[in-house]
A and B are shown apart, each in its own frame.
Chain A
């Protein structure tokens, strides 16, 4: 579903604020949200694609106006509420209550768990299932489908319906549209597809510019 998070190419945004010597966290609560997000109990069958989908389902105005870690906190609360791990009343009760962690040193076991979680490697490449369609070859001309999948997708709106060229074959990878919907990994071919800027953004685009994004086989059709 084309939700508000699909920002590529959206116009009207202005100056990109860059901070010299930016701190890793702008306030201690951001670090705690990162820890909470990574260490919180995951609902049965939870995966990274469901995590992204939860972020995308934040109300649009809240999504755009929230800081990065605010979004993470809200999406964490959303997933915990939806999976029954937390009740609305518990959230209400805790808001404004004294912080039980106030003044306490970090628990070394939790710190260790954090480091371990952040160091985890989760490869998403999979052995090819037997029923896959034959893959596009490198150099193939393809068109990104003019599709608006009903759930989570990684097909950005700005490439839909546009012609591109397969520039890399990445092998077979977990398919996020299925994985986020709890339909299993359904791994399929993944490609880096190159789109010329004028194809995406019209005659006024910079002619010496191209965008390459990684797209799964179901997002593409042959161009000819």
Chain B
């Protein structure tokens, strides 16, 4: 397994264009959209538009790296750490991480404002 980090100005997205390779041991069975003809075809050619359709707008300057899982190497996206989490421990940070954010198809959960 290889972890790829999202950073300011860099966003990673994982796909398997040839079938549906997915990190089962970590993320369980893949969702239907990940295995769909549409995602497999479009993720490598127009990732920015696909992500926008998923509700994730990235600036034209943000580099997108699409990882096509053609071998048995499984790529996992480390989402960018949200602002407002200074001093949070691992357990607290883990609660913000979603399945989709580890595919690169979404962002981590927002930090709830505390009064």
Contact = CB atoms under 8 A, between A and B. Distances in A.
A106 B54 CA distance: 37
B81 interface: no
A170 B71 contact: yes
Q: How large is the interface on B (under 10, 10 to 19, 20 to 34, 35 or more residues)?
A: 35 or more
B36 to A, nearest CB: 6
Interface string A101-138: 00000000000000000110111100000000000000
Q: What class of interface size applies to chain A in its complex with B?
A: 35 or more
Contacts of A55: 19
B71 A13 contact: no
Interface of A: 5-19, 22, 24, 26, 34, 52, 55, 64, 68, 118-119, 121-124, 154-156, 158, 168, 170, 173-174, 176, 190, 192, 194, 200-201, 205-206, 208-216
Interface of B: 2, 15, 17-20, 24-25, 28-29, 31-33, 35-42, 44-48, 50, 53-54, 60-73
Contact of A201 (B35, B45, B50): B45
Contact of A212 (B39, B67, B72): B67
Contacts of A13: 37-38, 41-42
